[in-house]
Amino acid sequence: MKKQFIIPAAMGMAMVMATTAMAATWRTGAAPNENRWWFDDDDGTYAVNEWRWLDGNGDGVAECYAFDSDGWMYADTTTPDGYQVNGDGAWVVNGVVQTQQTGVQNTPQSQGDSRILIAYYTLPETDGTDTDAGASRVAVGGGVQGNVEYMANTIAQATGGDLFQIDTVQNYPTLHEPLVDQAEREQDRNARPELSTHIDNLEDYDVIFVGYPIWWSEMPMAMYSFFDEYDFSGKTIIPFSSHGGSGFSGTPSEIRRLESGANVLDGYTVSRGSVAGDSSNLRNWVNSLNLQ
């Protein structure tokens, strides 16, 4: 396999121990499980009874893997929730491996000489309805993008702006119910998840589109970490989001509170089930801003 691999101390299974564990990674089991894989988070926990987007070889492209109740990766089978995975364990649709770009860059992905930045937080879920009309993901060119990622790419194409993915150190569940439960717990604690990506050249940008899903009528708490980290005074912030029926839920006003020195526009929001078919409306809205 193309990945690099890991181990947790008490897993209830015989494991091959590593001499050092520098970061979360993959590992294989000892006989008779030497051909089975599991994912160690390197913090005493491991992937179990869940789906994970993982970029095991660090190429900036993550594949999606499912793990059983003992932590073993499913391979070459149909998972209990009805999805197909190939011999390497990656989620496939009609034989095509589903992928997601990871947010490992600290410098935005440049589209050229641009003063426009599109920063976005996205987290595609692996359950729910078909990807073309699903709650959190869009099928694009044989791969899968999160709704907000898809919107961000559409805005980048319309503006020539640079893309930047906001990402966190911690992993989040990719199944809907565990994800929204964790989101609610973070809101209750007013948490500030640690970010794993950072903008090193914010001074290069005058206009920042900021995209996020709406969870429990609020921005994800990772967005609060994002706004805590940067001072956008003197810049224009343009929010965009996907939602489940609540619209923006007042989040542009919250951004104005957090970034009082910035000019925060009203932005653009769309129902999460309509994202894939809304790209022309989104482009027309972007063009109406006359940013060029």
213 CB-near residues (< 8 Å, 6+ apart) = 121, 122, 123, 136, 147, 148, 220, 241, 242, 243, 272
Long-range contacts from 36-39, C-beta under 8 angstroms, 24+ separation: 36/72, 36/73, 36/75, 37/1, 37/3, 37/5, 37/72, 37/73, 37/75, 37/89, 38/6, 38/7, 38/8, 38/11, 38/13, 38/67, 38/71, 38/72, 38/73, 39/6, 39/65, 39/67, 39/71, 39/73
User: What is the C-alpha to C-alpha distance for residues 202 and 108, in angstroms, rounded to an integer?
Assistant: 9
DSSP state letter for 18: P
User: What is the C-alpha to C-alpha distance for residues 216 and 214, in angstroms, rounded to an integer?
Assistant: 7
What would the pLDDT profile of 70-112 be if each residue is shown by its tens digit?
Answer: 999 999 999 887 788 999 998 887 788 877 766 444 555 555 5
Helix (H) or strand (E) holding 109: none
Q: Of 87-96, 219-228, 275-284, which range is least confident?
A: 87-96
What would the pLDDT profile of 25-78 be if each residue is shown by its tens digit?
Answer: 899 988 888 889 999 988 888 888 888 888 876 667 788 888 999 999 999 999
Contact 172, 123 (CB under 8 A): yes
Superfamily of domain 25-100: Cholin Binding (2.10.270.10)
Q: Is 233 exposed, middle or buried (0-12, 13-18, 19+ CB in 10 A)?
A: exposed
Q: Of 28-37, 52-61, 154-163, 232-241, which range is least confident?
A: 52-61
Helix (H) or strand (E) holding 33: none
Contact 124, 213 (CB under 8 A): no
Give the model's pLDDT for residue 17.
28
Domain(s) of CATH 2.10.270.10: residues in the chain? 25-100
Question: DSSP 3-state assignment of 69?
Answer: coil
| Cis bond upstream, residue 220 (ω within 30) | no
User: What is the C-alpha to C-alpha distance for residues 290 and 159, in angstroms, rounded to an integer?
Assistant: 10
Contact 138, 230 (CB under 8 A): no
Question: DSSP 3-state assignment of 116?
Answer: strand
Q: Provide the whole-model pTM.
A: 0.63
Question: DSSP 3-state assignment of 269?
Answer: strand
User: What is the C-alpha to C-alpha distance for residues 234 and 70, in angstroms, rounded to an integer?
Assistant: 52
Domain(s) of CATH 3.40.50.360: residues in the chain? 103-288
Mean pLDDT for 183-198 is 93
The rounded mean pLDDT for the chain is 80
Fold classified for 103-288: Rossmann fold (3.40.50)
User: What is the C-alpha to C-alpha distance for residues 11 and 188, in angstroms, rounded to an integer?
Assistant: 31
